[in-house]
A and B are shown apart, each in its own frame.
Chain A
Amino acid sequence: MGVGGATAVIAGCEKKPEKLIPMLVPPTDYEYTPQTAYQYMTTCRECDAACGMMITTREHRAQKAEGNPNHPLNQGTLCARGQASLQSLYNPNRHAFPLADGKQIPWEEGIQQFSAIIKAASGAIAYLGKPASGSEGRFVDEWLKAAGGGQRVKFNLLTQNSQTAANKIAFNRADIPEYAFEKAGIILNFSADFLETWGNSVENARRFTDMHVYKNGKKNRFIHISPHVSLTGAKADRWIVINPGTEGLVALAIAAVMREKNGSHKFLKNYLAAYTPEKVTEATGVSVEVMRELANDAMEHGPVLALGGGNVSATDQSVETLVAVNILNSVSGALDKTIRFYNQTVPESSTHQDLTQLISDLEAGKIKLLIIDDSNPVYALPPSMGFKQALKNAFVVSMASQKSETSHLANLVLPALTAYESWGDAFPRSGVRSIQQPVMSTVNTFDAKAREDVLLSVAQNVNKKAFPGNSSYLDYLQNIWKRIQREVGDKRKFDSFWISVLENGGFFENSKYKRVTLSRKVTSVKVNDPGLIGKDGLTLLPTTSLLIGDGSGANKPWLQEVPHPMSQIVWDSWVEINPDTAQKLGINDRAIIEVTTPHGSVNATAYYHFGIHRNAIAIPMGQGHQNSGDVADGFGINVMNLLSGRMDNAGNFALVDTQATLKMVNEKSYTVNTDGNARQLGRDIAAATTVEELNSGGEKHGGHKRPVEFYPDRSETAGYYKPYRWGMTIDLDRCNGCSACVVACYAENNIPVVGKVRTALGREMSWIRMERYIEGYGDDFETRFSPMLCQHCGNAGCETVCPVYATYHNPEGLNAMIYNRCVGTRYCSNNCAYKVRRFNWFDYEFPSPLDQQLNSTITTREVGVMEKCTFCVQRIQTAKYDAKNLGRDLEDGEVVTACQQTCPTKAITFGNLMDTESKVSKNALRDETEKRDRQYEVLAELNYKPAITYLKKVNTRVVLGHESDRHDSQEQEETHG
């Protein structure tokens, strides 16, 4: 009680505790039960997609982030970055106190200094911050006015500016539409990484999967037309390799063929005549037949959804490219079907032009005070732009919560609170108003204040009339929400409206979409070939990682530790290079190569990737930090050092504009990847089938026959599986490898992060890993993902070999692990065919305050102890207690594991296999093997009887592997068939 009480006091009050007060008599001002989970709704601010979050707090500490089930965008799921947002809150490298020129100062002094400098600047102020879809932008604008003037520059490296510009040209409106993936029959994707960083990846993944998953004997198509196969492209049914920067030409060629056939948009006739497949084939590197085939496919399988944008197509033709995609969407009739515009505000954003202007203003001394929020332009802008040098000409105030290269250079650092501890809101789409509320008191290690509150009080210091009646940002926010209440016609008292908003995580309503038509102005847009292939060297494609993002995730241990799903590399950067090109240049896989562009040069590891154009290389952004904290600094390289900072015609950053030359420095590099082998050698760990095979019934061979056994199955043994036998199904056709489940597992189960060196030895602790296998060779390769976790075998290899019963089969079918009993022989791990057991080689630490995130319903493990997936046994127990209190058994769907909970594509189902009506039983068809088509158990021939049934990935093509692979798999069939 004492400890619980102390924690409660720490977290329960606004003020920090002076001393520990034992809670002999619980305080009456709040109701609180130790060890009970309290959930709060808020909004994820890791990227600007603004997914709703539901934060589980225990003992008044946020312990787990989950998606807000009410939220229309993410519907209860989260991506890896959202899961890891907890590590923004508890990051040991957060600014802990105000700093003036690197020295600690008290807050009063900081605010005084800040007020003084505002007065002195007399309007020569610039506020450089993230673009805000919510009230924050408006607040800052008003604040600038109150502070005497100044400009706000919105900085976002992964901007959608080109899309808004192209929409403005094509549809005469500059907002971002909703992409109704699920309505499409075929997706033509022009380099948009929509499962990673393009738009809201969680929503995209869900809706895309709804469209693309095998259903009723059919599977819709997804064609990836790009010089680069990212995680998104890995899910494609077909990859069309095009020359970098020629997405627009291919789109127009397809549009030309389609328009010819369907006769729509007569005014485009002459315009498109200049872009027939015959005319663009040379520039794009795509054959005429292929383009015609694509057009026919699109017409046959429509409705079409054509997507474009993102890093890989951000050449100086990026806007033109997206206009072309818009034309294709219009010609194919996608508008209002798969693409819907709403009445909504244009997402705010500054162009690259504005940033360049800001830099020249700084250089000219026109700006005396520069205020920067959590964005990190010093890191994220190419050094050739001179932002870092220009900072010297102004007084820089950083209002960041996290340490960064930018805050390192600030004259004054006023630590801000994270989104977990402060108020805010976001309006990412029409009808979606998402609220961000503090889910806990501030982390007591850090003496930080909410950015808006600081700004407010400073403004009121400077200008008595500023923000009348607002004593805090919460007042300001509530005023805005009062207005929203009026707008939406809610008649309740504001207090009850406000509480319902906080309970739901925002206010969500359906809005009607507006019809749009293609503007005739598009004919004036000339789409050119940027001609990147003709130039010397290899075109450098700066890609994004769905884990680290633009670099803001680099200081989060989970995001560094979890392997990038495509490369399986951890804690590093790499250069993706086509093996053909590499071998021509004499560069071996994992060699250290020197990448040189006219703007700089870096040394990085070569990574052989079939999925890249032979005249291009790709380097992911986000690594190579210098002052962003212990976890980020010194790992990998910053691709921005290689870029020019040039702009396209619309003033956007032309990321793809640089040619690189490569030189081998060393044959070996210390790059750590977690996959032992990229190929599965026909072992069908991640199995796939084709639509044809499924329809012809070729897959219905009754599953793998179980051998006749001497001993009865556990299900026939007294004391087992009554009433529960927990099981899982994983649909590989749904899984896209996003690794959100992996991060969720780290968060839920107190899994330690071990770092690069120990991962190199295979000592990573992940209980669930995203296995990536590559099939085939060259352009026709296929990537398969398979989440691998403890299979909770009914006939487990690990259980029998443990000499002390530290692991045993519990009555509910869980392969239980008793940490306290384990002596650490590691025999169980040897005998696990799935290799999912993890051993505590050391006593791992959770550097403070990361330890506050630890899930208090389970333990951490000590050195010398084996651990592994428990099917979130703590969640099963909690649900069982709750059901027991109600005097009934658990119902299907009441236990949700952490991995299942966060999966944006709902690839994982979990439940009771003894209940024939449960979803998992119906998915797994364990007892009705004759009905099975895609179901299989991994390594079923070992007769471990795993509780996890996988559902095969469904392909629309046959990928021929290597001869030896086929040989092996045939042999296997013969032996076990």
Chain B
Amino acid sequence: MGTTAQYDATAGRVIIDEHQGHPGIKSTTLSYGQINDEMLAMLDKPRPSYYLLLLGFLMALGLGALSLAIQVDVGIGYSGISHPIGWGFYITNFVFWIGIGHAGTLISAVFYLTRAPWRTAIYRSAEAMTVFAVFTAGLFPLVHIGRPWLAFWLIPYPNERMLWVNFKSPLLWDVFAVTTYMSVSIMFFMLGLIPDLAILRDEAVRKGKKLKALVYAPLALAWRGTNHQWVHYMRGYMIFAALATPLVFSVHSIVSWDFAMSSVPGWHTTIFAPYFVAGAIFSGLSMVLTVLIPMRAVFGLQDYITNHVIQSVAKMIIFTSVIVGYAYGAEFFIGYYSGSPFERAIFYYRPFGEMASWTLLGDNEINFPQIAFWLMVFCNVIVPIPLWRWKIRNNPLAVWIIAALVNVGMWFERFNIIGSSLQHEYDPSAWGEYWPTVVEVGITIGSFGFFFTLFTLFAKSLPPMAIMELKEGTNPPMRNAAKKDTDE
């Protein structure tokens, strides 16, 4: 790679040229031991503030669980979903969380294959987020359906009644897509963890912590770090990355077909697959930044998650923001160009509400969908614009604010698609309105609680950064030692 490494006698370290060296790690002045120490220090006994944070997330989760319990007890009618709006907050959350789950695989698999070195510091956390986001998303179909206790009927299993599932239904494709994605991302995540788990195991054994060793040892799968193991490991990792890469694009395409395959005006459009995938990456990367920038500050990881990393992610966010913005525009153009009165009506309704001539006498009413629409446009198209400037990109606080707003915007984009289209379908006499109730808000808050609880637990129990890849980014100690020797 043409690395020029120099030994700095005063610092007692090898200094790698910043421009030519590993760009993911700031002035790669880190030694293996230092990386080990700093990474393992992150897993030390947490401070009280950690418990406070965890308690907050658990409370949110509890609120969600309570809301769900009430809903299951009283009936799905306890939510605001109604006729004709059969899908509301729950499906919005489902699509939102699946979207969040896309960044992890993108970063760990796609950028692995494309050799984007800045991924090293963040891919572990992003992958964990993927797994947790897919967990969260996977709960929502259960929350949403009328008889969740029969959800297993969606799985094609042999049974004595010869009942089979309907392979024509996009919902069934969803079942396959999401379960595949979930299993692949869990396996990919666990595979990437193996060498690090071995470090944790060794550390636990060294410090005589038997319980920890008992937990980490089986997960480390007897990793010894032999050459032989490394060869197989790297091949396996490559294969998994190749397997996971198409999923990044297929899963959200299939999720988008839940809508695109229907006949609902505002849903039935071919742009949905790329539009949803771009949106998913957009929201996923924003979520990565939303989570990692605070984490970087808390753990002092500026050396690992450099501004360069943040900038790179921010560039991806600009890129996907432009795609998403284009998709919004294209939707409107096609809505107009199709000439279909139904399409035109829904695309008028989304931004402006009831057209005056629709009502008996012409009252223009602004409703929830209009709020959702303008929030979506503002957060997803307007807010990311400052990221075009290097100064803004280089300012972690500014990037964090933008990323957080993009998350809000992407949630409302999902809602805008799902909620508003169902309100104004073909038969004006059957138009309806949708307002969420307290259980839906509670369960939505609960889903964030669930996600962040899992992530908070993860941050203290598994190395949030890939230790072995960080080490890979520095120069091998052998060579350094040799150089040191010659210099001396």
Binding site for B on A (CB under 8 A): 579, 588-589, 608, 675-683, 685, 758, 761-764, 769, 771-774, 788, 797, 800-805, 821-827, 829-831, 833-835, 837-843, 863-866, 939, 942, 944, 962-965, 968-969, 971-972, 974-975
From A579, A827, A974, residue with most partner B Cβ within 10 Å: A827
Query: In the bound complex, what is the Cα–Cα distance between A678 and B360 (angstroms)?
Result: 6
B183 at the A interface (CB under 8 A):
no
Smallest beta-carbon distance A616→chain B, Å: 19
From the candidates A771, A788, A831, A842, name the one contacting B77 in the complex (CB within 8 A).
A842
Given A683-B426, A683-B427, A821-B153, output 17 extra A-B contacts at Cβ < 8 Å: A608-B361, A677-B358, A678-B360, A680-B429, A681-B341, A764-B83, A802-B169, A803-B165, A803-B169, A804-B163, A825-B141, A830-B262, A864-B76, A942-B263, A964-B355, A969-B341, A975-B338
Chain A neighbourhood of B340, CB < 8 A = 975
From B258, B338, B358, residue with most partner A Cβ within 10 Å: B358
Closest A residue, CB atoms, query B147: A864
Chain A neighbourhood of B261, CB < 8 A = 801
Chain B neighbourhood of A771, CB < 8 A = 427, 429
16 pairs across A/B with beta carbons < 8 Å? A675-B429, A676-B428, A683-B428, A685-B429, A797-B262, A800-B168, A801-B169, A823-B153, A824-B76, A827-B86, A830-B84, A835-B83, A839-B86, A939-B426, A964-B357, A972-B341
Smallest beta-carbon distance A762→chain B, Å: 4
CB-based closest 6 A-B pairs: A824-B146, A864-B146, A676-B431, A841-B77, A826-B86, A835-B430
From the candidates A797, A824, A829, A969, name the one contacting B84 in the complex (CB within 8 A).
A829
A773-B429, A963-B357, A964-B357 known; A971 and B341 CB under 8 Å?
Answer: yes
Chain B neighbourhood of A683, CB < 8 A = 341-342, 426-428
Chain B neighbourhood of A762, CB < 8 A = 82-85, 432-433
Smallest beta-carbon distance B365→chain A, Å: 11
B171 at the A interface (CB under 8 A):
yes
From A589, A803, A964, A968, residue with most partner B Cβ within 10 Å: A803
Asked if B339 contacts A608 (CB within 8 A), the reply is no
Closest B residue, CB atoms, query A938: B427
Asked if A823 contacts B87 (CB within 8 A), the reply is no
Chain A neighbourhood of B172, CB < 8 A = 803
Smallest beta-carbon distance A639→chain B, Å: 24
Smallest beta-carbon distance A791→chain B, Å: 11
Query: In the bound complex, what is the Cα–Cα distance between A614 and B169 (angstroms)?
Result: 54
Smallest beta-carbon distance B115→chain A, Å: 40
Within 8 A of A (CB), among B165-186: 165-166, 168-172, 175
Asked if B171 contacts A801 (CB within 8 A), the reply is yes
B154 at the A interface (CB under 8 A):
yes
Asked if B357 contacts A680 (CB within 8 A), the reply is no
Smallest beta-carbon distance B152→chain A, Å: 9
Closest B residue, CB atoms, query A972: B341
Query: In the bound complex, what is the Cα–Cα distance between A736 and B439 (angstroms)?
Result: 42
Asked if A864 contacts B75 (CB within 8 A), the reply is yes
Chain B neighbourhood of A962, CB < 8 A = 357
B74 at the A interface (CB under 8 A):
yes
Asked if A829 contacts B363 (CB within 8 A), the reply is no
Query: In the bound complex, what is the Cα–Cα distance between A242 and B418 (angstroms)?
Result: 49
Contact string against A for B residues 53-94, beta-carbon threshold 8 Å, 1 for contact and 0 otherwise? 000000000000000000000111100111111110000000
B295 at the A interface (CB under 8 A):
no
Closest A residue, CB atoms, query B426: A833
Asked if A679 contacts B359 (CB within 8 A), the reply is yes
Asked if B339 contacts A975 (CB within 8 A), the reply is yes
B145 at the A interface (CB under 8 A):
yes
Asked if A805 contacts B164 (CB within 8 A), the reply is yes
From the candidates A589, A805, A826, A833, name the one contacting B360 in the complex (CB within 8 A).
A589
Closest B residue, CB atoms, query A770: B429
Closest B residue, CB atoms, query A754: B77
Within 8 A of A (CB), among B136-153: 141, 144-147, 150-151, 153
Query: In the bound complex, what is the Cα–Cα distance between A588 and B363 (angstroms)?
Result: 10
Chain A neighbourhood of B196, CB < 8 A = none
Query: In the bound complex, what is the Cα–Cα distance between A964 and B74 (angstroms)?
Result: 44
Smallest beta-carbon distance A771→chain B, Å: 4
Within 8 A of A (CB), among B294-320: none
From A771, A824, A825, A963, residue with most partner B Cβ within 10 Å: A825
B422 at the A interface (CB under 8 A):
yes
Chain A neighbourhood of B358, CB < 8 A = 677, 679, 681, 964
Asked if B361 contacts A589 (CB within 8 A), the reply is yes
Smallest beta-carbon distance B254→chain A, Å: 13
Closest A residue, CB atoms, query B421: A830
Query: In the bound complex, what is the Cα–Cα distance between A840 and B145 (angstroms)?
Result: 11
Closest A residue, CB atoms, query B339: A975
Chain A neighbourhood of B163, CB < 8 A = 804-805, 821
B345 at the A interface (CB under 8 A):
yes
Closest A residue, CB atoms, query B428: A677
Asked if B76 contacts A835 (CB within 8 A), the reply is no
Closest A residue, CB atoms, query B340: A975
Asked if A801 contacts B262 (CB within 8 A), the reply is yes
B392 at the A interface (CB under 8 A):
no
Asked if B361 contacts A805 (CB within 8 A), the reply is no
B440 at the A interface (CB under 8 A):
no
Contact string against A for B residues 338-364, beta-carbon threshold 8 Å, 1 for contact and 0 otherwise? 111110110000000001011111010
Closest B residue, CB atoms, query A610: B360
Closest B residue, CB atoms, query A974: B339
B264 at the A interface (CB under 8 A):
yes
A774-B360, A827-B169 known; A841 and B76 CB under 8 Å?
Answer: yes
Contact string against A for B residues 185-209, beta-carbon threshold 8 Å, 1 for contact and 0 otherwise? 0000000000000000000000000
B425 at the A interface (CB under 8 A):
yes
Asked if A805 contacts B165 (CB within 8 A), the reply is yes
Chain B neighbourhood of A761, CB < 8 A = 77, 80, 82
Query: In the bound complex, what is the Cα–Cα distance between A822 and B154 (angstroms)?
Result: 10
Smallest beta-carbon distance A574→chain B, Å: 14
From the candidates B146, B355, B427, name the one contacting A863 in the complex (CB within 8 A).
B146
Asked if B166 contacts A803 (CB within 8 A), the reply is yes
Chain A neighbourhood of B75, CB < 8 A = 840-843, 863-864
Query: In the bound complex, what is the Cα–Cα distance between A608 and B361 (angstroms)?
Result: 9
Query: In the bound complex, what is the Cα–Cα distance between A805 and B161 (angstroms)?
Result: 13
Smallest beta-carbon distance A969→chain B, Å: 8
Query: In the bound complex, what is the Cα–Cα distance between A771 and B77 (angstroms)?
Result: 24
Asked if B262 contacts A825 (CB within 8 A), the reply is no
From A678, A826, A969, residue with most partner B Cβ within 10 Å: A826
Query: In the bound complex, what is the Cα–Cα distance between A835 and B77 (angstroms)?
Result: 18
Chain A neighbourhood of B145, CB < 8 A = 823-826, 864
Asked if A863 contacts B86 (CB within 8 A), the reply is no
Closest A residue, CB atoms, query B145: A824
A677-B359, A821-B153, A823-B154 known; A830 and B83 CB under 8 Å?
Answer: no
Within 8 A of A (CB), among B237-283: 258, 261-264
Chain A neighbourhood of B425, CB < 8 A = 833, 835
From B74, B141, B258, B426, residue with most partner A Cβ within 10 Å: B426
From A579, A762, A773, A939, residue with most partner B Cβ within 10 Å: A762
Chain A neighbourhood of B175, CB < 8 A = 803
Within 8 A of A (CB), among B80-136: 80-87
Smallest beta-carbon distance B68→chain A, Å: 14
Closest A residue, CB atoms, query B85: A762
Asked if A823 contacts B168 (CB within 8 A), the reply is no
Closest A residue, CB atoms, query B174: A803
Query: In the bound complex, what is the Cα–Cα distance between A769 and B141 (angstroms)?
Result: 30
A803-B172, A842-B74, A972-B341 known; A942 and B146 CB under 8 Å?
Answer: no
Asked if A788 contacts B82 (CB within 8 A), the reply is no
Closest A residue, CB atoms, query B167: A803
Smallest beta-carbon distance A363→chain B, Å: 48
From B145, B164, B261, B429, residue with most partner A Cβ within 10 Å: B429
Closest A residue, CB atoms, query B263: A797
Smallest beta-carbon distance A107→chain B, Å: 42
Chain B neighbourhood of A843, CB < 8 A = 75
Query: In the bound complex, what is the Cα–Cα distance between A816 and B153 (angstroms)?
Result: 19
Chain B neighbourhood of A831, CB < 8 A = 262-264
